[in-house]
Amino acid sequence: MAKASLLSRFQGCLLGAVFGDCLGAKFEREWTEIPYDKVIAYMNKIIKKVGQEKLEKGSVFYTDDSCMTFDLAKSLVGNRKYDAADVAKNFSETYFSQPTHRSYGGNVAFVFFSLKQMNYAGDVYRPAREQFDGSGSYGNGSAMRVSPVPLFHHNNIPSIVELSCEQSKLTHTHPLGINGAILQSLAIEKALLCEESVGGLDPIKFCSDLIQQYKDVTTVEDDKHVYEGQLGHIIRYLKSTELVKAKEINERIGSDVTAQKAVPAAIFAFLYTLDAKRIPQLTKFNGFLRAVIFAVGFSEDCDTVGSMAAAIAGAYYGVDMIPKEWTFACEGGTEALELAEQLYDLHLK
Ligand code: R7I
Ligand code: MG
Ligand code: MG
């Protein structure tokens, strides 16, 4: 694989997150394994329609995953720093601008209502702390939107960890929610930094190094071991020569709306599809598409696992692997490219 430039990787990450969300959203309510052929057929249908000029720009809609990714990225770029009240306001106002169409998580709306009532002043972390009788949410919502964080603080692990944690606490204060966001950020950062190597990236080494790094840097000790256990399952599957079935992945790792399942599922999708030959139906696709089609196909929360797998894969493979037709078709496609470039410019400065 030719090494993608850092700008291409930034753009691959952010546009990837949007693409995975848009592709997975088509199947979001099916709650079952989607055959690869069905995902591929839908993907190709959009490519064909764009080619025939039968689809308007931005007409494949995204969901809450991309809403919140954009909310966070725009605030970081606009303020050139993390401003908790501003991010909280963006999250909430975007929600109230379209509450029904974006398929937000079942409970997070209560946070937005409280934030609005507070007029985004005072302790903006309080509503999230009060979720689920005070234990906080462990939904995957703070991990699904975290991709701007490793771009904003690229090459600075302590700052990536701190900001992943802080932005999580605006909606998800449960240790599993926070650590899920940290782990997803670390996976993206590691993918951004991967050098081209003879024979390609070693998925087992990537995962082992990620576990070690997560153990070393995570500041939230409660429930920390849950993710270590999940990454251990991933390594076992990566080592196996037998093809693992979707049912087994879902029973062992899981892939639902909780952070402790969705984040490991996304990392697994990226690593498991690095070898083009592993899944015969996907061999003809580039690595980025293999990861996303696989993630959408096996996962229960397919827009979110698709989006997170695509953010990691995009950070590794770069933006050129994403079909141009889909950049055109995705709502927010061009905006994702522009925001990634702005984050890249901030990084250079
Ligand atoms: O995490 P969140 O923003 O939802 C994101 C998901 C993604 O799949 C999006 O694509 C969208 O479809 O929703 O929203 P939350 O409401 O905080 O969490 C989502 C769900 O996780 C909740 O509705 C609960 O079902 C579950 N959950 C919990 N259940 C019990 N106890 C989260 N935390 C808890 C908990 O502490
Ligand atoms: Mg969604
Ligand atoms: Mg989802």
In a domain, 1, yes or no: no
Q: What is the pLDDT of residue 4?
A: 86
As for how many domains the chain has, the answer is 1
Q: What is the pLDDT of residue 80?
A: 98
Mean of all residue pLDDT scores within the chain: 96
- b (16+ CB within 10 A) / e for 84-112: bbbbbbbbbebbeeeeeebbbbeebebbb
In a domain, 209, yes or no: yes
In a domain, 163, yes or no: yes
The CA 302 to ligand 3 mean position distance, Å, reads: 6
Q: Which helix (H) or strand (E) holds 124?
A: none
In a domain, 319, yes or no: yes
d(CA 333, CA 338): 9
Q: What is the pLDDT of residue 30?
A: 77
**Ligand sitting nearest the alpha carbon of 296:** 3
In a domain, 320, yes or no: yes
Q: What angle do CA 38, 102, 271 make, to 5 degrees?
A: 50
Ligand 1 pocket member 11 (CB < 6 A)? no
In a domain, 2, yes or no: no
Ligand 1 pocket member 108 (CB < 6 A)? yes
Q: What is the pLDDT of residue 103?
A: 95
Region for residue 292 given its phi and psi (left: phi exceeds 0; alpha: psi -120 to 50; beta: otherwise): alpha
Whole-model pTM over 0.85 = yes
CATH number at residue 22: 1.10.4080.10
In a domain, 3, yes or no: no
The CA 256 to ligand 2 mean position distance, Å, reads: 12
Q: What is the residue range of 99's domain?
A: 8-348
Specify the amino acid at residue 259: A
d(CA 202, CA 207): 9
Ranges of residues in the chain with a pLDDT under 50 are none
Ligand 1 pocket member 174 (CB < 6 A)? yes
